[in-house]
Structure 1
Amino acid sequence: VVPEFVGIVNYSVMALIQLELGVAEEADLDNKTVLDLYLKYLHEARDLMLNKNHDYDEAWRNMRVSSLDDIILMKLLRIKQIENNAGKTLVSEGLDANYFDIINYAVFALIKLIIEEEDE
């Protein structure tokens, strides 16, 4: 399960990069640029996580991994709805906010899974 959550983080970062740069028909970025963009979005996600974690008093620690997974699936459904609506939202956050949330919920799940492995 750990590799799947790592994949969720990676694909979400890739989606954020694609939101910024647009869709490319072929690989047109050098490795340094890709790494810089990847780290930029991971750092933004970390900063958001630290702010929200403080606001919500680390509520994720009391959640099951399956509940975190459910939240990620709800975020994916919301992304699909936004995309089907040509990116327009009435009151909710945009695509980028949902991808950042997915990254952070996946990181919370990874932390919980790693802690559970260590406790066994």
Structure 2
Amino acid sequence: MSATSQQYDAVIATCRELFINKMKDYGAAWRILRLPSLTDQIFIKAQRIRGLQTLAESKVDEGQESEFIGIINYSIMALIQLEKGVVEQPDLDVATATELYDQQMAITKQLMMDKNHDYGEAWRGMRVSSLTDLILQKLLRVKQIEDNAGKTIVSEGLDANYQDMVNYAVFAMIHMGA
């Protein structure tokens, strides 16, 4: 499990660096996005990955890795929005946004470590295409929960689904050698 933790951290370091650089370029403009908008951004990324996995050629010169990074970062943004709420104007500087990013990522990684212990690293035997399908399934669940005004009867909430999407995307990137 130590290898998994190290591989996970390496993937997250790449995602975190991009998050910080985009914060420097654009500020916290994403803070105005409502959860369904973030969910739709993740959906676009997951659909593109699925397309790349099934199409013979792609016309945009960006591969699966950049899309998985997008899924991870948009999911972390959604978790921050769940905690802090949506605002009308960007309200976070780079340092504060990075601190929130790190907090959400630490919680998400701990969930992965706990599940990974219980499931015996079963993800290592999975295909990247299956991880993509699981992300799409989680997205459909999130959309349904959003349509139900955030309420569930017996199921996990939005936060658990976003966390699972982060972890599936990290697993996919580890499989791809990122």
Q: TM-score, normalised by structure 2?
A: 0.63
Unpaired stretches in structure 1, ≥5 consecutive residues: 116-120
Cα displacement (A) at 1:85:
0.3
Corresponding residue for 2:153? 90
Aligned 1:27-42 pairs, distance under 5 A: 27-42=90-105
Q: Aligned partners of 1:98, 1:60: CA distance in 2, in Å?
A: 17
Letter in 1 for 2:150: G
Q: Aligned partners of 1:25, 1:104: CA distance in 2, in Å?
A: 30
- 85, 101, 113: which one pairs with 2:164? 101
Unpaired stretches in structure 2, ≥5 consecutive residues: 1-63
The percentage of counterpart residues that share the same residue type is 63
Aligned 1:1-120 pairs, distance under 5 A: 1-114=64-177
How many residues are paired up? 115
Q: Aligned partners of 1:111, 1:32: CA distance in 2, in Å?
A: 28
Cα displacement (A) at 1:95:
0.2
Q: TM-score, normalised by structure 1?
A: 0.93
Q: Aligned partners of 1:8, 1:83: CA distance in 2, in Å?
A: 18
Corresponding residue for 1:118? none
Report the RMSD for the aligned CA atoms in angstroms. 0.9
Q: Aligned partners of 1:43, 1:88: CA distance in 2, in Å?
A: 25
Q: Aligned partners of 1:26, 1:49: CA distance in 2, in Å?
A: 33
Q: Aligned partners of 1:3, 1:111: CA distance in 2, in Å?
A: 13
Q: Aligned partners of 1:26, 1:111: CA distance in 2, in Å?
A: 36
Higher RCO structure, 1 or 2 (CA under 8 Å, sep 6+): 1
Q: Aligned partners of 2:141, 2:111: CA distance in 1, in Å?
A: 19
